[in-house]
Amino acid sequence: MPKLNFKKHLPTPLSIQQNRWLQPIAHWLNHHNLWHFHRRSVAGGVAVGLFCGLVPGPLQMLCAALFAVLFRVNLPIAFLATLYTNPLTIVPLYVLAYQLGAWVLGQEGIASAQINTPDLSWDNWFFPLIQWMASLGKSFALGLPLLAILLAGIGYIVVRIGWRFWVLWELSRRRARRHQLKEK
């Protein structure tokens, strides 16, 4: 199985410090957790990305960058994890957020009757989506942050558990290889 080498695609601390566009904020981007791939940093990056993926509009990656720097988690992973939302998935996610908020508020029967999704086209989707979100009211205002927290928590736990299983699997493979070499 080929190993993926993400490190060759990441910027070095020196390249960040020398980049003229990043110089005003370069001192914030020097923390090693922002760029290294280890279980806590990657799990935190996934959680931040999943949380910020539900931020409306084009502010998702900016939000992910700010939270990644604030919580010192993997920045590229936080960016990538925001990509689960796009014009095709955002409406179903917002409907789910609305229904979660309606369920928490005890408005189960009303949730499906009030959802009328706007007609979105590739060139004009942002403002109709914002107007539709505003029409959803309290249920949506409560459900969106709840869904974001829920997705972030699930993502964090899944990455931590998956990472643990992967490490144990790799250790068992190494032991099996060593055992095979000793038998020969």
Give the tens place of pLDDT for each residue, 71-108.
999 998 999 999 999 888 888 998 899 899 989 988 86
pLDDT digits (tens, 9 = 90+) for 160-171: 999 999 999 999
The set of long-range contacts for 9-12, using a CB threshold of 8 Å and a minimum separation of 24, is 10/35, 10/76, 11/35
60 belongs to a structural domain: yes
Residue 2 domain flag: no
**pLDDT of 24 higher than 70:** no
Q: Specify if 15 maps to a domain.
A: yes
Owning domain of residue 91? 8-183
Distance of CA 16 to the CA centre of its chain: 23
The residue with tokens 């029967």 is 109
What is the domain count for the chain?
A: 1
Confidence of residue 23 (pLDDT cuts 50, 70, 90): low
Q: What is the band of 111 on the pLDDT scale with cuts at 50, 70, 90?
A: very low
Distance of CA 160 to the CA centre of its chain: 14
Distance from C-alpha of 147 to C-alpha of 98, rounded to nearest angstrom? 9
Q: How much of the chain, in percent, has pLDDT values that exceed 70?
A: 74
Residue 1 lies in a domain: no
Q: What are phi and psi of 124, to 5 degrees?
A: -145, 80
Tell me the pLDDT of the chain averaged across its residues: 82
Report if pTM > 0.85. no
List helix spans (H) across the chain: 13-18, 39-52, 60-71, 75-81, 90-105, 108-114, 126-135, 137-183
Evaluate whether 10 touches 76 at the Cβ level (below 8 Å).
yes
